Structure 1
Amino acid sequence: MKREYKNNDVFHVIEEWAPKHLAYDWDNVGLQIGTYNKTVKKVMIALDVLESVVDEAIEKKVDLIIAHHPLLFNPVKRINLDTPQGRIIHKLLTNHITVYAAHTNLDVANGGVNDMLFDLLGIVSRDNLTEVSRQKLYKIVVYVPATHVDKVRSAMSEAGAGHIGNYSHCTFQTNGQGTFKPLEGTNPYIGTKNELEFVDELKVETIVQEKRLTKVINGIIDAHPYEEVAYDIFPLENQGETFGIGRIGTLSATMKLRDLCEYVKSTLKVPNMRVIGDLDKNVRKIAILGGSGEKYIHLARQKGADVYITGDMSFHVAQDAWQMGLSVIDAGHYIEKVMKQATKLFLEKELDNNLIEIITSETNTEPFQFI
C-alpha cells in the first residue's frame, strides 16, 4: 500500500492519460521547474502559471502545480528578479513548488481539452478534426508455471493489457512444457542446480498498447515466481487508438447560429465573443479546437462543419473563413479553462484522496476585458 506520493507518481498518472510524445515538436511539456522526487500532498490545477497563480499556490501551501500552458517555452538565458518571469521562478524555487505542464499532449489526448469542450456542449458523434498519431499495439507472451498462471494473468490485466474494443482482460493460453537448467549462482524457484528441469507451464498471450507496455512487463515480473522470466514482445499491424487535434461532431438538433452563440457563452461562461457568419443561419455540424485554431479553418470546412469554435482568429484568416461560408465562433483562448475541473476529477479518480489533495486555481488569468 502506498504511504505517500512523489511528484513523479502524479506525472506518471498524467502521462498515462496524455503521453508526452503526443505533444507537438515545438511544445515544451513535462517538468518545468522543481523535482521528480519531492513528496506531494497538495496539487493545484491551473491554466497558466502567472505570478498571481504562484502567489495563490504559496498561500494555499501547494506542493505541485499542474498547468496547461507551459511556464517555459523558450530557453532561459538569465533570471532577472526584476522581471515577472524572474520573480515567478524565484518564488517557485524558494517555496519548493514544482511546476509540470501538459499542453498540446492534453489537447490531442482522448478525453483531453477538446473532448472536455465537446462534453460540456453536448455534441455527439464526435471524430478527430485531423489525426496526428496512432497508438502502437504489441502482443506480449509469457510462460508461467500452472501454479501461478492466475496471478500473472491478473497482473497483466490490471496493468492495462488485454483491452480489445469494449472488452478487458482478453488473453489466450495454451498448455506446454518448459525446460531449463539452473546454473551456478542461481536460486531457482523450481529445480536443482545443474540438472535439466521439465515443468508444466502455460503460455499466456495478450495485446497491449505501447504506453502501457512497460507497466505490463513490470507487473508480469512482480507476479512471476521465476528469477528469470521468459517473455516475448511482438509488434502488431493492428490499428490502435487514434489521436487527433480538434474534434468535429453534430448537435442533437439544428439551431440558429445566434442561439448557438448564446448557448456557448452560457455553457462555457464566456462573457463576450467574436462571430463570423450569418447569425440567422441554421447550423448543426460543429468543429472545435481549443486555443489558437485559425490554421485549421480549411480543414473544418472540408469536413463539412457549419461552425468552427476556436480562439485567436486574426483579421485576414477571419475574412477567409467568411468568404468560404464557414461560420466561426471565436470564444477566446481562455475557454481552455475547462481543463482545470476535468483534470481535478481525473486525478481524484486515479489517486488516493486520503494521501493527496487536488484543488483548482481560482485565479483569473484571462488578459482581455471588453468595454
Structure 2
Amino acid sequence: MKAGEIAAHLDRLVEGSAAVPRDASGLVVGEPADEIDRVVVVFEVDEGTIAQTEDGSLLAAYRAPPSWPYPGAGGQAGGPARRMLPQFLRRRIALYLVPPEYAGFAGGLADWLAETLGLEEARPFGPASPRRYLKLAVFVPEGHEDRIREAIAGAGAGHIGHYSHCTFQVAGTGTFLPREGASPFAGKVGDLERAEELRLETVVPEDQAGRVVEEIGRRLGTAVRVAGTQVEVSRVAVVPGAGAEYWEHAVAAGADLLVTGDIPHSIARAAAARGMALVDPGLEATEAGFAPCVAAWLRAALGGRVQVETVSPPKLWWVAGG
C-alpha cells in the first residue's frame, strides 16, 4: 500500500482542522509513492520505537522527536532528531505525525480519557481550532430553487450560527449543448440551449463537505460537484496532555474538577483560589490512549490491506519506591 494512501486516511482523523504553523504534521518523512508493508502506531517517537519498527514501515505518531524542525521555524533537526533522520531514510521508514488537534476531535484523546474515567454526557469546552468552510454553488433552473435549497439545508449546509437555510442567489442565463449520450433536463441533443437559471450559493464546513455532498445527492437522486480545595464534584473537564492553560475555560464551562497533565504550580494556586479542583496524572497517562485508539480506527479504515500494530515506548517517568 502506498504511503500517500495511508496518509490520506490518517488525515481524516482531524479533517477540517486549521493548521497551526509551528506544528509539524502529516507525512513528514517519506514520499507518497513509497510502498508500505505495515503501519506502526506509537504515542511518541524515540530511538527505541524506531529500533522496534521493521524496514519499509510507516510510523504514525502523536509526538515528534525532541528538536524536530517545525515549518516556518527556519531551523534544522538537532539533538535526537538529527540522529533519527538518517535511520528513517536508510531503513525506508516513513513518518506521519498526527496533528495535536486530534485530542479534541470526536473519538479523539479527550473522548478516550473521559470514557476511561467513566464520565458521562461528554461535550467539548474552551476554544476550538478555527473551522474552515467551503463554498458550495449550484446552478438551478428557475422554479426549482426552493427544492434545491431545502435539500442543501437538510443535508447540513447553509448553517451559520443560529441560522439555517443561509444562501445567496443571483439570476442569469445559462447555456449548454447536450451531446450524444446526454439526457438533458431541458433542450435537445445537438442544440445549444439557453435557460433562465439561478446560481445558488452557500457554505459548508470543510470537514462535512463529503458527507453533505453525498446527502444532497441522495435527497435529490443526482450527483453534486463541490469546488474549492476539596469540592463536591458534579462536572469534570478533561484535557489530554499538558492542558493546564485551559483551566479558566473549564471554570467557565461549569466544571468543578480538571484532569490534565503537567500542571504548573502557579496555575494550581490560581485554580484553587477559584474553587477548581485539579488532578494531574501526568502527560503520558492522559495521552496513553493514542496508539490503541488510532490503531483500531486505522485497521477498520484500511480493511486489512496492510498490517497495523502498536509499539509502547518505555515510560519516561516512574514512581520512586513504587
> Normalising by structure 2, what TM-score?
0.71
- Assess if the C-alpha contact under 8 Å between 2:60 and 2:97 holds in 1: yes
Give me the whole-angstrom Cα distance separating, in 2, the residues matched to 1:347 and 1:230: 29
Indicate the residue corresponding to 1:42 in structure 2: 38
Q: Distance in 2 between matches of 1:90 and 1:141?
A: 50
CA contact (8 A) 1:289 1:309 kept: yes
- In structure 2, which of residues 154, 171, 181 is the aligned counterpart of residue 189 of structure 1? 181
The question of 1:340 aligning with 2:291 is answered yes
Aligned twin of 1:136:
133
CA–CA distance in structure 1, aligned partners of residues 118 and 137 of structure 2:
39
The letter of the residue matching 2:30 is: G
- Cross-structure match for 2:63: 69
CA offset at residue 21 of structure 1?
3.4
Deviations 1:277-330 (A, max 9, x none): 43xx43231000011111111221222211100011111111112222211111
- The answer (yes or no) to whether the contact 1:141–1:206 under 8 Å persists in 2 is no
Equivalent residue number for residue 146 of structure 2: none
Residue of structure 2 aligned with 1:12, choices 2, 8, 17? 8
Taking the aligned partners of 2:255 and 2:177, their CA distance within structure 1 comes to: 65
Deviation at 1:87, TM superposition (A): 1.9
Residues 162 and 207, structure 1, Cα contact 8 Å, conserved in 2: no
8 Å Cα contact 1:294-1:311 kept in structure 2: yes
Separation in structure 2 between the aligned mates of residue 162 and residue 207 of structure 1, nearest angstrom: 12
Structure 1 SS opposite 2:278: strand
- Partner AA of 1:331 in structure 2: P
Distance in 2 between residues matched to 1:140 and 1:110, nearest whole Å: 28
Match of 2:99 in 1: 103
- CA distance in 1: counterparts of 2:26 and 2:225, whole angstroms: 32
In the aligned structure 1, how far is the partner of 2:302 from the partner of 2:7?
12
Residues 42, 356 of structure 1: 8 Å contact kept: yes
Q: Could you tell me which amino acid in structure 1 is paired with residue 64 of structure 2?
A: P
Change (3 A) 1:230 1:18: closer
Give the match for residue 239 of structure 2.
Answer: 289
Q: Which amino acid aligns with 1:91?
A: Q
Q: Give, in angstroms, the shift of residue 84 of structure 1.
A: 2.5
Instruction: Quote the residue 1:322 is aligned against.
Output: 272
Q: Distance in 2 between matches of 1:8 and 1:336?
A: 26
CA distance 1:233–1:37, change in 2 (3 Å): closer
Deviations 1:45-71, CA, capped at 9 Å, x for gaps: 11111111111113xx45101111133
CA spacing shift, 1:196–1:298, aligned 2, 3 Å: closer
Return the alpha-carbon distance in structure 1 between the equivalents of residues 289 and 224 of structure 2.
46
- 2:32 aligns to what SS in structure 1? coil
**Separation in structure 2 between the aligned mates of residue 209 and residue 128 of structure 1, nearest angstrom:** 18
Q: Work out the CA distance in 1 between the residues paired with 2:8 and 2:77.
A: 29
Question: Secondary structure of 1:291's match?
Answer: coil
Q: 1:350 to 1:311 in 2, by over 3 A?
A: same
Q: Evaluate the alpha carbon distance shift between residue 216 and residue 349 of structure 1 in structure 2; reply closer, same or farther with a 3 A threshold.
A: same
Amino acid at match of 1:343: V
After superposition, the Cα gap between the structure-2 partners of 1:137 and 1:35, relative to the gap in structure 1 and judged at 3 Å, is closer
Paired residue for 2:53? 57
Give the conservation status (yes or no) of the 8 Å contact 1:19–1:211: yes
Match runs of 1:246-285 below 5 Å: 277-278=229-230, 281-285=231-235
Aligned-pair Cα RMSD in Å: 3.9
- Does structure 2 retain, via aligned residues, the 8 Å contact 1:43–1:62? no
> Secondary structure at 2:288's aligned position in 1?
helix
1:136 CA displacement: 3.4
Please give the secondary structure, in 2, of the residue aligned with 1:123.
coil
Q: Please tell me whether residue 367 in structure 1 is matched to residue 316 in structure 2.
A: yes
How many correspondences in the alignment?
A: 275
Q: Deviations over 1:60-95 (max 9, x none)?
A: x45101111133254575567xx4222211111100
C-alpha separation in 2, matches of 1:127 and 1:230: 33
Cα 1:67–1:41 shift into 2, 3 Å: same
Structure 1 or 2: more strand by fraction: 1
Preserved contact between residue 26 and residue 97 of structure 2 (Cα < 8 Å)? yes
Q: For residues 23 and 77 of structure 1, do their structure 2 counterparts lie closer, same or farther at Cα, with a shift above 3 Å needed?
A: closer
For 2:224 and 2:155, the matched residues in 1 are separated by 19
Distance between the aligned counterparts of 2:42 and 2:135, measured in 1? 35
Structure 1 position 120 matched with structure 2 position 108: no
Partner residue of 1:303 out of 253, 257, 260: 253
- Confirm or deny: 8 A CA contact 1:142 1:232 kept in the other structure: no
1 CA distance for matches of 2:16 and 2:84? 24
Alpha-carbon separation, structure 2, partners of 1:114 and 1:23: 19
* Amino acid paired to 2:290: M
- In the alignment, structure 2 segments of 5+ residues that lack a partner are 141-153, 158-173, 183-187, 195-200, 217-222
